[in-house]
Amino acid sequence: MGFFTSNSSYPLPGLNYALSSQPYPVQHMQQDYSPRDIERAAQDFWNEQGSFRAVEKEGADKFYCLSMFPYPSGKLHMGHVRNYTIGDVVTRYQRMRGRNVLQPIGFDAFGLPAENAAIKNGVPPAQWTYSNIETMCAQLKRLGFAYDWSRKLATCEPDYYRWQQWFFIQLLKKGLVYRRNSRVNWDPVDQTVLANEQVIDGRGWRSGAIVEQREVPQWFMKITAYADELLDDLSGLDQWPDAVKTMQANWIGRSQGLEIDFKLADAADGADTLTVFTTRPDTFYGVTYLAVAAQHPLALAAAERDATVAAFVEEASRGDVTEAAMETMEKRGVPLGVDVIHPLTGARVPVWAANFVLMGYGTGAVMAVPAHDERDYEFASKHGLAIRKVIVTEQEWALEQRAATLGSLSDEDDAVEHPAQQSLIGAIAASSADGCTTERGVCINSAEFDGLAFDAAFDAITAKLEALGAGRRRINYRLRDWGVSRQRYWGCPIPIIYCEACDAVPVPEDQLPVRLPEDLVPDGRGNPLLRTPEFVNCVCPQCGKPARRETDTFDTFVDSSWYFARFASFGADAMIDARAKYWMPVDIYIGGIEHAILHLLYARFFVKLMRDVGLSDVAEPFKRLLTQGMVLAEAYYRTTEAGGREWIAPKDVDVERDAKGVVTRAVHRESGETLTAAGMGTMSKSKNNGIDPQDIIDAHGADAVRLYMMFTAPPEQTLEWSDAGIEGAGRFLRRLWKLVADHVAQGEPGAVATLEVAKLSAAQKDVRRKLHDTLAKVGDDYERRFSFNTAIAACMELSNLLHRFRDGGGAADAQGRAVMQEALDALVQMLAPIVPHVAHELWWALGHNAAVIDAPWPQSDAAARIADTVALVVQINGKLRGKIEIAADASDDQVIAAALADENVQKFIAGQTIRKQIVVKGKLVNFVVAA
């Protein structure tokens, strides 16, 4: 089995090795493809050679390829396999192109699932996590990924998180972190803080109790101080998908607006003004009420004396806190019994508390203009509040002006209505019927501002309010500061000590890391650190008196915001060292689109913080971003007698088809029962439709899995798992193996005649043209397009051609054999990044004496690609009517003449006049004809 080799560093178990002076000579090529043996052998080879150990080499063209590191949830899932295969293909391609590559791997090891597992099984999160990491590493190795394993890290290791603690203290010193109260989901039964994910329909996931909101002191990072830079620098990320940049820009949500002070009509409750933020000062005369968040001080004050308000505030403190829940919730509110004075009209305007106003955005208060805001309109209609129209379209304005003029003219003129005018009247009627228009337009009913368009009205009204001291321009962001405190055990301890005398004191740097005890077992009732006096009790570093240690830990997004820099400086006795300067920024970062906003924004923020703390001069972490799609699988269920659904794993389901191949029935293999197909969905426990990568690797080999993953869909799209598809991948690899084996069997591998282009037959030239076309295409697909599925398809086309070439006898003579050798060499190299094990083995078989990963990437030969003739399409009025074959260097006139000579073309031109002829070089000719 496999190849007999002389080198003891390349052992195959249970074999006798033939001795030879060649490093890895091929004595004999196995006729059949046997993935298990060759994959193991190739992996051993890379290991022994240290092929993927990254070493900083000044002057070398570096390439840092990174996939988002996994959460160690237990075993690898298909999403991981896909993500890491993409990264590995890019890495291996770049390595073959001669770049000095770094591809590290690690684990995002802190987080909630470890605590959930602990609650369920009573195992400490640390033990569970480390054991999962071990399992997953073995699986990653089995897939043959070209990682520098010497840089493996896990964020739960003190050597990692101590620098995170150190960094937090630097930020504290620079005033970039602060502490304030903020709301959390509180489960009153379990006496614990819940993650949003653990709140289901407003109730705790385990207790079922209605969730309350509590204010607790938490640490925040001032990401808003970097809002402008985070927004502006997006434009420099020219190798990021536009969708991600747009999402981040919208998330930051920079808006120019006006802060306006409304004086309370009856100064009470201490405060005498209410400040709102608006981006639409042009609608200022349309304000008919003000709305504040339920937690706004004015609402809380009103609640003191008004039971209805108190009930509303109380009710708003229950249930979900997510923005999605707030926005979809029924719009409700209560009047506060407080009026304010409109600064320009002097009118009294009522103030309401409303559940759709967010305390965290702007000032927690808004001016409502129901005629020009959907939400305000809905709320006003429901509560009988006034609606005042102050904006019209430019056409409406023009028409009203005209009507005003017409009023002074004679009746005769009035009667002659222009059709365009009538349509405008119709448009006005339509827009008035709506009752709410949010588009910008021209002011009406706005005193001296009537007739001003948006920009002019914005400036004029702003100027007037500024002059009155009742308003000021302000830039507002949707982005909020980043709350990093989590009331959880399994995370990086926040390095703070609370002292009664000195308040919050950072842990001195020489006492870092603050180690997290690894033997605690959470039980779902709060953070076990709170019940661990050895952890909590300490002395104040400032005054030496007894003090309490912070028991909150960091949001795990903090852990993942700088790991890429640590990989580059692995083991440094500092957060990062000079090696980070060599490797950073990451040249390509690959991961799920679900991280488009949060993780990627936080990582960008952290890199800017690290720069400003003086650690580096890199401003952006990821030069290029590839967002991969998810892996889906069909889910099947049977309906139980009780009417519930029992989900059946896809591997236990047989599919029946009709003569056309259309699926007619899904059958449970065990019981023969007909199942319901629930369609494609993400692989999940609840639908029992997960496919275990391990089973597939065991059955088909790592190369087949890798090939299938890369071939089935382009990286950004979702990938639908198919058992038949993986078999097709295996089939291609066996065909490829056989093609090389047949060639090798024809004679001494590698010993072929020198190619003499002038002596080649037409068929041999065709093979070379196809080969060099393929090389050009595949190179572009790997390098620029990341279009691996089409690169593979091109390799398959070439392989199919080589089969026909062989079967047609084209490879029989000495030159044919040389052409075949050239083509097979290149084909194996082109496929090597995707199916590295089989390529490794075939490369030796083809007679080479260095590993394929160390061979220079094959270049496309432009001369071989030149064709004598080209096929053109002839269209008449854009419809395909004929095809012609013509000399590649034919002139436009010659092309037209040849096209007109076509019989079918003649038929369609007969009796018509040619109005226009369009010739597209190398593509088509189009005649525009008419009778």
Contact 704, 721 (CB under 8 A): no
Nearer to RNA, 814 or 900 (CB): 900
User: Distance from CA of residue 81 to its chain's centroid?
Assistant: 16
Applying CB under 7 A, among 630, 649, 890, 909 the residue interacting with RNA is 630
N residues, the chain: 931
Q: 104 to 143, contacts with RNA by CB under 7 A?
A: 108, 110-113
Strand, coil or helix: 494: coil
Cα separation, 706 vs 725, in Å, equals: 12
Q: What is the H or E stretch that residue 916 is in?
A: strand 913-920
Nearer to RNA, 224 or 308 (CB): 224
Q: 147 to 186, contacts with RNA by CB under 7 A?
A: 184-185
Nearer to RNA, 15 or 918 (CB): 918
Nearer to RNA, 142 or 881 (CB): 881
Q: What is the H or E stretch that residue 733 is in?
A: helix 723-745
Instruction: Give me the least distance between CB of 544 and RNA, in Å please.
Output: 31
CA distances from 770 to 241, 574, 615, 804, 833 (A): 32, 53, 51, 13, 21
796 binds RNA (CB under 7 A): yes
Give the binding range for RNA (CB under 7 A) out of 12-20, 89-97, 556-564, 851-859.
556-564
Residue 372: how many CB atoms within 10 A of its CB? 23
Interface mask toward RNA for 487-526; x: CB under 7 A: x---------------------------------------
Strand, coil or helix: 263: strand
CA distances from 265 to 51, 276, 351, 415, 746 (A): 77, 16, 11, 50, 100
Nearer to RNA, 17 or 178 (CB): 178
Cα separation, 886 vs 871, in Å, equals: 6
Nearer to RNA, 491 or 749 (CB): 491
CA distances from 4 to 1, 25, 750 (A): 8, 8, 17
Q: 866 to 885, contacts with RNA by CB under 7 A?
A: 871, 873, 875, 877-881, 883
717 binds RNA (CB under 7 A): yes
DSSP sequence for 596-615: TTHHHHHHHHHHHHHHHTTS
- Name the residue type at position 875: Q
Nearer to RNA, 612 or 720 (CB): 720
724 binds RNA (CB under 7 A): yes
Instruction: Give me the least distance between CB of 112 and RNA, in Å please.
Output: 4
Number of residues that bind RNA (CB under 7 A): 106
Interface mask toward RNA for 810-849; x: CB under 7 A: ----------------------------------------
Instruction: Give me the least distance between CB of 555 and RNA, in Å please.
Output: 5
Contacts of 247 (CB under 8 A, 6+ apart): 596, 597
Structure tokens at 660: 């056309």
Interface mask toward RNA for 764-783; x: CB under 7 A: -------------x--xx--
Nearest CA-CA partner of 494 in 183, 171, 215, 69: 171
Nearer to RNA, 193 or 369 (CB): 193
Pairing mode of beta strands 719-720, 631-639: parallel
425 binds RNA (CB under 7 A): no
Nearer to RNA, 17 or 205 (CB): 205
707 binds RNA (CB under 7 A): no
598 binds RNA (CB under 7 A): yes
Instruction: Give me the least distance between CB of 328 and RNA, in Å please.
Output: 4
Q: 29 to 68, contacts with RNA by CB under 7 A?
A: none
Applying CB under 7 A, among 787, 815, 821, 829 the residue interacting with RNA is 787
- Name the residue type at position 840: H
Nearest CA-CA partner of 928 in 881, 855, 876, 884: 876
Nearer to RNA, 374 or 509 (CB): 374
Distance between start and end Cα atoms, the chain: 74
Structure tokens at 698: 């065991």
Instruction: Give me the least distance between CB of 290 and RNA, in Å please.
Output: 20
Applying CB under 7 A, among 14, 433, 660, 758 the residue interacting with RNA is 660
Instruction: Give me the least distance between CB of 443 and RNA, in Å please.
Output: 24
Applying CB under 7 A, among 222, 611, 765, 803 the residue interacting with RNA is 803
Structure tokens at 46: 């890379």
Nearer to RNA, 296 or 599 (CB): 599
Q: Which H, E and C letters describe 171-204, residue by residue? A: HHHCCCEEEEEEEEEEECCCCEEECHHHEECCEE
Nearer to RNA, 889 or 903 (CB): 903
242 binds RNA (CB under 7 A): yes
User: Distance from CA of residue 275 to its chain's centroid?
Assistant: 38
Residue 864: how many CB atoms within 10 A of its CB? 19
735 binds RNA (CB under 7 A): yes
722 binds RNA (CB under 7 A): yes
Instruction: Give me the least distance between CB of 456 and RNA, in Å please.
Output: 25
Instruction: Give me the least distance between CB of 422 and RNA, in Å please.
Output: 21
User: Distance from CA of residue 502 to its chain's centroid?
Assistant: 44
Strand, coil or helix: 590: strand
Q: Residue 323 burial (CB < 10 Å; 0-12/13-18/19+)? A: exposed
Contact 792, 782 (CB under 8 A): no
Give the binding range for RNA (CB under 7 A) out of 37-45, 762-770, 839-847, 916-924.
916-924
Nearer to RNA, 25 or 491 (CB): 491
Pairing mode of beta strands 348-354, 289-292: parallel
Contacts of 717 (CB under 8 A, 6+ apart): 629
Applying CB under 7 A, among 175, 346, 614, 661 the residue interacting with RNA is 661
732 binds RNA (CB under 7 A): yes
- Helices 125-142 and 693-700, packing angle to 10 deg: 30
682 binds RNA (CB under 7 A): yes
Cα separation, 644 vs 656, in Å, equals: 24
Residue with tokens 């009035």: 414
654 binds RNA (CB under 7 A): no
CA distances from 414 to 407, 423, 453 (A): 8, 16, 28
Interface mask toward RNA for 249-278; x: CB under 7 A: -xx-x-------------------------
Nearer to RNA, 392 or 494 (CB): 494
307 binds RNA (CB under 7 A): no
Instruction: Give me the least distance between CB of 786 and RNA, in Å please.
Output: 11
Nearer to RNA, 252 or 512 (CB): 252
- Name the residue type at position 388: R
Applying CB under 7 A, among 467, 659, 910, 931 the residue interacting with RNA is 659
Pairing mode of beta strands 674-682, 879-887: unpaired
Applying CB under 7 A, among 797, 847, 900, 909 the residue interacting with RNA is 797
Sign of the CA dihedral running 435, 441, 446, 450: negative
Nearer to RNA, 581 or 769 (CB): 769
Q: 188 to 227, contacts with RNA by CB under 7 A?
A: 193-198, 216, 218
Instruction: Give me the least distance between CB of 825 and RNA, in Å please.
Output: 21
328 binds RNA (CB under 7 A): yes
Nearer to RNA, 184 or 648 (CB): 184
714 binds RNA (CB under 7 A): yes
Applying CB under 7 A, among 48, 266, 272, 323 the residue interacting with RNA is 323
